[in-house]
A and B are shown apart, each in its own frame.
Chain A
């Protein structure tokens, strides 16, 4: 991180820099001092978009807390108070709620971009790990945030998800002890709400810390690029500022339009209407669904007939990303030069979206009407097997056996070649 050749222009900046070299740090990280590959495409926008969403969530979250009350008797009412009475409260809450969804959209694209272009491969494995840690922290934060309005989906989502940890029942009563520890009671109740609130406030700042490590780890090897080859000479690189700050700002302006469409025109499309009914521990809604960004994993949970193994499969479906750098044995990073890899990558995405779609369905629901009909559970099992087969069979074999396309010798050369063709 940081740049040793930063020379402040003003006297005051020079004075300050000698005492705390933070300007040089910023210059070298997000300024002209960071030399990035010249061929980054718009898929490389999503890192800074994720950073933008983190800031939006923290700012809107902090102001929402000024009006919210984390208590079972008042939480639901205080959210309605925000919606009806607080000046611009509806805007703040809709931005925060839809912002969470958009944060996940951006992060999913960011992760998938890393998968397609082989950004997880050596020497960026730790960078990849830190990104996955951020993602796991986001999952925990998003889940606990959804509990805070204390609607029916909040309550029953919390009940279902916390009960997952009861599956670790290795000796008599262990599962129950874990649950009582998580809940602070015998069920999801006020102590649970209060601790979720505390952690929902804390975790975003932990995410900020891991993001700093993520950027630090990025700046040792530098950014990957669409060709997946190392950027070597000065002809391969351009300064981050003004080139990528401008490109990121341009992408950001598009993104903000999409975010605004959701906030102003479709504010509840990602939510569930049952969450506008106050939590009631005596009545389970007929159909509990988690937020969309958990749905593929929810299907994997439901697909396994055993409770413990279902929970293990669900956690494994995320943790398996940690070993991806070693499952992939190819010498070439970018799927641009690995057509079979690219094909299976898109198949993986289609399967993940399909698993997410099945997550909204009841297990017995007939999805495909052939013969006796295929129900959601059966299809979920097929999708789950395909999901794990991608990591355990397809990637290790294809990456080692595939005959790849020729890779350009340098980024600069590839740019020159493409100009000749044009």
Chain B
């Protein structure tokens, strides 16, 4: 005991110091690994993730119309764009854009504009064919999107999100 006391006073690194740090580290790792499941249970569960994709039949959507479908609990806009709308969208590539992106990067096939219908400001659903740019308008805080779904005016920071999608054939698209 006497030697231990002397060691503590002299601030020398002892076996005991090592044991303090080592047991503290093991304890911290134990707490962290016990906490992780408690945090991760909050993330989307397996059944939520399993419903992550949806197939849509495009043949029923006439030109100049937008259809809203539900995907991952959120609306997705599928707009069958007219020739003039596509021209307008391409022409606007050189407009003053807050989140610059060319129209061809936003639509795999120019006549089909597919976007998540959730305003990038605070998550409201923008209204179809409203606003100053012939596209969408979010009623919550006044964001205007153009006919390519790009943010043109208002508080939203980004363009409407384009989800991952693929054309299975000419009339079917798989979203997600």
Q: How far is the CA of A283 from the CA of B74 in the complex (A)?
A: 10
Closest to B161 in A: A176
A100 on the B face (CB < 8 A):
no
Residues of B within 8 A of A186 (CB): 44, 48, 52, 72-74
Residues of A within 8 A of B122 (CB): 159-160, 163-164
Verify B44–A281 contact, CB threshold 8 A. Answer: no
Say how far B41's CB is from chain A's closest CB, in angstroms: 8
B140 on the A face (CB < 8 A):
yes
Checking B48, B75, B139 against A281 with a beta-carbon cut-off of 8 angstroms, the contacting residue is: B75
B contacts with A, residue count (CB < 8 A): 27
Residues of A within 8 A of B75 (CB): 281-282
Residues of B within 8 A of A282 (CB): 68, 70, 75, 125
Verify A180–B72 contact, CB threshold 8 A. Answer: no
Residues of B within 8 A of A166 (CB): 123
Closest to B156 in A: A307
Closest to B44 in A: A185
Q: 8 Å CB contacts to B: which residues of A160-209?
A: 160, 162-164, 166, 180-189, 191, 195
Q: How far is the CA of A362 from the CA of B70 in the complex (A)?
A: 28
Q: How far is the CA of A156 from the CA of B73 in the complex (A)?
A: 13
Closest to A179 in B: B123
Which has the most chain B C-beta neighbours within 10 Å: A159, A180, A188? Answer: A159
Residues of A within 8 A of B39 (CB): 181
Q: 8 Å CB contacts to A: which residues of B40-86?
A: 42-45, 48, 52, 68, 70, 72-75
Q: How far is the CA of A195 from the CA of B42 in the complex (A)?
A: 8
Say how far A213's CB is from chain B's closest CB, in angstroms: 24
Verify A191–B48 contact, CB threshold 8 A. Answer: yes
Verify B155–A305 contact, CB threshold 8 A. Answer: yes
Residues of A within 8 A of B43 (CB): 180-181, 184
Closest to A364 in B: B142
A286 on the B face (CB < 8 A):
yes
Say how far B30's CB is from chain A's closest CB, in angstroms: 23
Say how far B31's CB is from chain A's closest CB, in angstroms: 20
Verify B139–A287 contact, CB threshold 8 A. Answer: yes
Say how far A73's CB is from chain B's closest CB, in angstroms: 14
Say yes or no: A185-B139 contact (C-beta < 8 A), given A163-B123, A180-B43, A195-B42. no
Say how far B114's CB is from chain A's closest CB, in angstroms: 16
Say how far A359's CB is from chain B's closest CB, in angstroms: 12
Verify A184–B44 contact, CB threshold 8 A. Answer: yes
B16 on the A face (CB < 8 A):
no
Residues of B within 8 A of A363 (CB): 141-142
| Residues of A that sit less than 8 Å from B by CB | 156, 159-160, 162-164, 166, 180-189, 191, 195, 281-284, 286-288, 302, 305-307, 310, 362-364
- 27 pairs across A/B with beta carbons < 8 Å? A156-B140, A160-B122, A160-B124, A160-B140, A163-B123, A181-B43, A184-B44, A184-B48, A185-B44, A185-B73, A187-B72, A187-B73, A187-B118, A188-B73, A191-B44, A191-B45, A282-B70, A282-B125, A283-B125, A284-B140, A286-B139, A288-B140, A302-B141, A305-B155, A310-B155, A363-B141, A364-B142
Which 10 pairs between the two chains have the least Cβ-Cβ distance? A186-B72, A187-B73, A163-B123, A284-B125, A284-B124, A163-B122, A160-B122, A159-B123, A189-B73, A187-B74
